[in-house]
Amino acid sequence: MLTHLPAFLITTWLLAMLPGAGQAVMIRQVLAGGLRAARGTIVGNASGLLLWSMAAAAGLSAVLLASPRAYAVLRIVGGIVLVALGVRTLLTARRPAPGPRDADEAGEAGSAAVPAGGDRAGFRSGWATGFGTSLGNPKAGVFAVSVLPQFVTGTGPVFLSSAVLGGIWALVNACWYLLFTWLVHRGRALVTRPAVSRGLGVATGVVLLVLGVAVAVGT
């Protein structure tokens, strides 16, 4: 496994960078809940990838993807999750957005006033969003079944090797999304301008809707 580790790291990093539902969801989370919600979403997404890896190692995901009916249900559920996020994002984009100065002042006041329970609630909500999006993404299942086993060597326990590679896959995705959400957050002075915020929110919502429909119909 160690022999193929560099290639696996490059593969998973490039796959994580591909534009898609993950980036759209992360942008939505940063705009709606800030870095707190985004971090929860990152952990939830990584948890979903790890679960997909465990399912692949146990042979469960192969059985799931081999059943057209079960795979169709998975696609539809994943599509519904993305469509729901898209609708929520579009509704949020219709609300008046504060300017950069107001956003900074609100952020400073909010960071001082939000209790620890609010922090945990925001993180849990983000985790649920990331976990649901990851589990509802059939492409993650396809990767776990078709690509992940290609890097499992014949030496050593197969389940352990798959579990380790799954953990690395989840960690690589988490690292990319930490960088991605940090970059989005760094641009908050531009993003929080009313026109830009509204336009970005609408664009993100539309992307989520289109991706949700595409996932649901299997395109």
Note the pTM of the prediction, 2 decimals: 0.71
Q: List the alpha helices (DSSP H) in 59-187.
A: 60-66, 68-93, 100-113, 116-135, 138-142, 158-186
Q: How much is the pLDDT for 106?
A: 39
Say which residue, 215 or 140, is predicted with more confidence. 140
Say which residue, 121 or 207, is predicted with more confidence. 207
pLDDT digits (tens, 9 = 90+) for 75-102: 787 788 788 888 887 887 776 544 444 4
Residue 104 confidence (pLDDT) above 50: no
Q: Average pLDDT for residues 97-115, to the nearest whole number?
A: 44
pLDDT digits (tens, 9 = 90+) for 172-193: 999 999 999 998 888 766 666 7
> 182 phi and psi, to 5 degrees?
-65, -40
Q: How much is the pLDDT for 113?
A: 44
DSSP 8-state secondary structure symbol assigned to residue 67? -
Which position has the token pair 């579990």?
163
Sequence letter at residue 105: E
Q: How much is the pLDDT for 29?
A: 87
Map out the domains of the chain as residue ranges.
2-217
First-to-last C-alpha distance (Å) of the chain: 33
- Among 130, 152, 109, CA closest to 2: 152
- Spatial distance between the Cα atoms of 215 and 209, rounded to a whole number of angstroms: 10
Q: How much is the pLDDT for 187?
A: 78
Say which residue, 200 or 40, is predicted with more confidence. 40
pLDDT digits (tens, 9 = 90+) for 11-54: 899 888 877 778 888 888 887 788 888 999 999 999 999 998 88
